[in-house]
Amino acid sequence: MSFELETYLAEKRRIVDRALDLALPLPQDLTRNVVEAMRYSLFAGGKRLRPILCLAGAEAVGAAPESALPAAVALEMIHTYSLIHDDLPAMDNDDLRRGQATSHKVYGEALAVLAGDGLLTEGLGFLAGAAVKGDLDPNLALAALSIIAGAAGPGGMVGGQAVDIESEGQDVGLDVVEFIHERKTGALIAASVTSGAILGRGSKTRIAALEDYGRRIGLAFQIVDDILDMEGDTISLGKEAGADQARGKATFPKAAGLDRAREKAQRLVEEAVKSLENFDAQADPLRAIADYLLTRKK
């Protein structure tokens, strides 16, 4: 394939990082600390997978990637909020994330809760604000907002995390693991691609195909994450390896074995790429990202 994924990812990452930086300036008043905490986690070296999928979703339906930039910003803020809250002592109690100390380790628990709250609020507010400023079509912005909030709320990420926490130390079946993964990770990844396609004025058929793609790579991404947690080492992962096992987390390889987990991830990625069969070369980034998710080492 002539498509250069590394170059593509690096370029898009720069666009996203710049937009995030502009979206959340450091204030000069007493609220500086909480915004600093928000920025600390936002710029802690994330892969920017969700915002890049959002831009690539717009591109896949023939639009300029930048037409989806406000949704990309919202998605990364919302993803980062979820990491901060997941890492809290009352949740997964993680000290390390992306190779750096987690928010509550640096800023204390209260400010970490608030930094997460702030990122969630700013994320959704930024998208609405972009439409108010005239940068987005109001109806498309509302559709994107609604899909992103649905994927982040109790029917998505919040619900998945709740069931994940409740399932710790329990011997749950594959159906529950899939239920968790689809909500905790899959929903926001699918919303990333579809919100991009919505802002790119994609047709209903194309948006539906991209949702299929998103749900499949979302689940594959989480299964690969579980495998890496089981096989990886702390330094290359940037977070504590084996942490899921230590906590008795419901994971795919634990419920189905490593071999079946690998097969499942492989099959999901193949199906995801197949969902794009009616798309032309403009969907090459999405195709390449699907393959990359399967072979990544962290």
| List of E strands, the chain | 96-97, 100-101
Can you read off the two tokens belonging to residue 5? Answer: 């994924």
Q: Among residues 78 and 293, whose Cβ is nearest to a copy of itself?
A: 78
Would you say 142 or 230 has its CB closer to a copy of itself? 142
Out of 57, 116, 253, 285, the residue judged to bind a copy of itself by CB under 8 A:
116
Q: In whole angstroms, what is the distance from residue 229 CA to residue 234 CA?
A: 9
Query: Per rule CB under 8 A, is residue 149 in the interface with a copy of itself?
Result: yes
Tokens of 232: 């990886």
Q: Which two tokens stand for residue 155?
A: 């029917």
Rounded to a whole number of angstroms, the minimum distance from the CB of residue 69 to a copy of itself is 17
How far is the CA of 282 from the CAs of 53, 59, 63, 196, 286, in angstroms? 13, 6, 9, 13, 9
Question: What is the helix (H) or strand (E) element at residue 19, kind and residue range?
Answer: helix 5-23
Show Cβ contacts of residue 270 under 8 Å, excluding neighbours closer than 6 positions: none
145 binds a copy of itself (CB under 8 A): yes
Can residue 229 be called a binding residue for a copy of itself (CB under 8 A)? no
Query: Three-state SS for 97?
Result: strand
User: Given candidates 22, 28, 29, 277, which one binds a copy of itself under the rule CB under 8 A?
Assistant: 29
CB closer to a copy of itself, 96 vs 176: 176
Is residue 33 a contact residue for a copy of itself (CB under 8 A)? yes
Residue 258 sits in the site that holds a copy of itself (CB under 8 A)? no
Residue closest to 223 by CA, chosen among 195, 193, 250, 196: 250
Q: Binders of a copy of itself among 66-105, rule CB under 8 A?
A: 81, 85, 88, 90-91
Is residue 252 near a copy of itself by the rule CB under 8 A? no
Token couple for 101: 């100390």
Contact partners, residue 39, CB within 8 Å, separation at least 6: 24, 26
- Measured from the CB atom, is 132 or 281 closer to a copy of itself? 132
Shortest Å, Cβ 204 to a copy of itself: 14
Neighbouring-strand partners of residue 97: 100
**Residue 183 found at the interface with a copy of itself (CB under 8 A):** yes
CB 58 within 8 A of CB 69: no
Question: Using the rule CB under 8 A, is 38 a contact of a copy of itself?
Answer: yes
Q: Does 237 bind a copy of itself (CB under 8 A)?
A: no
Site size toward a copy of itself (CB under 8 A) is: 55
Query: How many Å apart are CA 164 and CA 176, to the nearest integer?
Result: 9
Contact call for residue 152 and a copy of itself (CB under 8 A): yes
| Smallest separation (angstroms) from a copy of itself to the CB of 39 | 10
Q: 216, 287 in Cβ contact below 8 A?
A: no
Positions in the binding site for a copy of itself (CB under 8 A)? 27, 29-31, 33-35, 38, 81, 85, 88, 90-91, 108-111, 113-114, 116-118, 120-122, 124-125, 128-129, 131-132, 138-139, 141-143, 145-146, 149-150, 152-155, 158-163, 165-166, 176, 179, 183
